[in-house]
Chain A
């Protein structure tokens, strides 16, 4: 289980990076720049709330997992 958690740590880091990329280039900035109110509201939600939590939180979580912080020995 510990080695699975280490591998998954890399997966979470990759997921965080993908979310950052799509969050900025597809869902965030283009929607914020849009003239439609609906797009605007959605863009700001993604850019200022969801993306920082997912990218930051999941990134740190993945890093801890990769470093073995969640291994049975450490918890």
Chain B
């Protein structure tokens, strides 16, 4: 049924509104797809950290190898601010569209090439060096991508719906992680464990090149942001965005406020809920990695729509209250949540079922030293609540007897994998989901918040830097720092060693909460050019409304 209009004016307004909505959806789809793929590329590395540790680093010390992998993973985060500076500057001078086309291509090729690097066993130390270089390129590309996409969408949005529209961009990071987990799961289930371990882990990296190709074609056909195009036409873009952003005290103080009052806390909450939860279940609770992937994917899937909800709500009640409340609840809830997670799977408190123990011993010739053997003691325990524990103790046995290290027989390499029962599985999914809710509260409104903090001519540069320091550095280093704190707590014999890693996000988010609550304003700010959009006759205001 067609809509009836009482006047020509009403009809024209309706058509105009429809046209605007169609345009903004096109912009959101094209921007989000590319950003989603970049997040996918970036997180594939983190999702496969446990496998990559065995491929690109020496196998003698698994903890050190895992930490080195996390450090390489973190290196990608650490260079993100440099990408933000480099590409942010380009975006403010050349334009948003061309800049994020370049970042997309760099990301796609780097990811594809990580999947082609030979292992440490084949080329030695060149392998981790190559992976590190490609990881750095990934970080640089991502540093330039997000600010561009957020700015691009925000500059198309109507002022009163900016939180809602930009929240679609905010879903892409979680969706990228979700898709990376799904791709890994599908690859794992389509191949045997040996095939996946031997070459199958490369497939998720190779798939990226196809997705980037599609996204490139879509983005290539997009137009430049109308506000930027207008400013460029009028010669009002910045000649030196870096100087204007960071050399000008008026802007620089807001860069610092954005970092310490919002993004730093948001970064650690994001990475606690979506990455540390995963590595905690795998490395501290020893849950089977495929089961962890499934649980994470479900929790992320359930939580993702909430980005939109909180983005929309931030248009009504303000960005600050939602972000600060999210931070506060997260700080209070983290310890009880992780304690419950750990206790739910702690096998020391469980009883082995009757006939629930099976043991097997296998002997294989050592792959490198033909006279030596690898003896594997395989043990399976089923507990009364249905939990299954698989434990492999691998001992290297030389022709003359056990390998002696520091005067003692070498300790066996122990690998444990726990498969939890359905009740515990749902409990863990819900506990991760709660953490994803915190993530959506702090992250949903933040693109609109950052965009509104800086003026058009230096927006890309100014918002990208604090975002990538907060997320990339404070958040990205979280898995490495938290894993270290847990290991140190365990070595020192602390009673609740498994909770030690949480001190890092709690302290960082705590400082951020205090700064944000006191220094940030509750009322949403308008973009300087909003007045221009609302009334085309008005001239562009030079100073930002902050």
A residues sitting closer than 8 Å to B (CB atoms) are 1, 4-5, 8, 15, 37-38, 41-42, 45, 49-50, 53, 57-58, 60-61, 64-65, 69-70, 75
Contacts and interface: CB of A to CB of B under 8 A. Distances in A.
Interface stretch (B59-67, B83-91, B378-386): B59-67
A75 B546 contact: yes
A70 B484 contact: no
Contact of B477 (A8, A38, A45): A45
Given A4-B518, A8-B518, A38-B487, A57 B67 contact: no
Contacts of A4: 518
B257 A70 contact: yes
24 contacts: A8-B514, A15-B511, A38-B67, A41-B68, A41-B70, A41-B480, A41-B484, A42-B480, A42-B481, A42-B484, A45-B71, A45-B74, A45-B477, A45-B480, A49-B477, A50-B481, A53-B474, A57-B256, A57-B469, A60-B256, A61-B515, A69-B253, A75-B253, A75-B254
A5 B256 contact: no
**B63, B70, B260 interface centre (most CB from chain A within 10 Å):** B260
B259 interface: yes
Interface of B: 61, 63-64, 67-68, 70-71, 74, 78, 249, 253-254, 256-257, 259-260, 469, 473-474, 477, 480-481, 484, 487-488, 511, 514-515, 518-519, 521, 546
**B61, B256, B257, B488 interface centre (most CB from chain A within 10 Å):** B256
Given A5-B518, A8-B518, A45-B477, A37 B256 contact: no
**B71, B253, B257 interface centre (most CB from chain A within 10 Å):** B253
Given A45-B71, A53-B473, A60-B256, A38 B249 contact: no
Contacts of A42: 480-481, 484
A6 B456 CA distance: 30
A48 B46 CA distance: 22
A37 to B, nearest CB: 4
B78 A49 contact: yes
B473 A50 contact: yes
B260 A58 contact: yes
Contacts of B487: 38
A61 B546 CA distance: 17
Contact of B61 (A37, A49, A53, A57): A37
Given A49-B477, A61-B257, A69-B253, A1 B518 contact: yes
A50 B477 contact: yes
Given A45-B71, A49-B477, A64 B256 contact: yes
A64 B78 contact: no
The 5 closest A-B pairs by CB, nearest first: A37-B64, A42-B484, A61-B256, A64-B253, A41-B71
Contacts of A70: 253, 257, 519
A69 B252 CA distance: 11
Given A1-B518, A37-B67, A75-B253, 14 more contacts: A4-B518, A5-B518, A8-B514, A38-B488, A41-B480, A45-B74, A45-B480, A53-B469, A53-B473, A57-B256, A57-B469, A60-B256, A64-B249, A69-B249
Contacts of B257: 61, 70
Contacts of B253: 61, 64, 69-70, 75
Contacts of B67: 37-38, 41
A70 B515 CA distance: 11
A73 to B, nearest CB: 13
Nearest to B249: A69
B519 A38 contact: no
A70 B250 CA distance: 10
Contacts of A50: 473-474, 477, 481
B64 A38 contact: yes
B363 to A, nearest CB: 31
A28 to B, nearest CB: 13
Nearest to A36: B64
Nearest to B484: A42
Contacts of A57: 256, 259-260, 469
A60 B259 CA distance: 12
A58 B67 CA distance: 28
A60 B246 CA distance: 12
Nearest to A44: B71
Nearest to B64: A37
B122 to A, nearest CB: 22
A50 B369 CA distance: 44
Contacts of B70: 41
Contacts of A15: 511
A70 B514 CA distance: 15
Contacts of B61: 37
A75 B250 CA distance: 9
Contact of A37 (B68, B254, B488, B511): B68
Contacts of A75: 253-254, 521, 546
A42 B501 CA distance: 13
B502 to A, nearest CB: 16
A64 to B, nearest CB: 5
A60 B253 CA distance: 9
B518 A49 contact: no
Given A42-B481, A45-B477, A64-B256, A5 B519 contact: yes
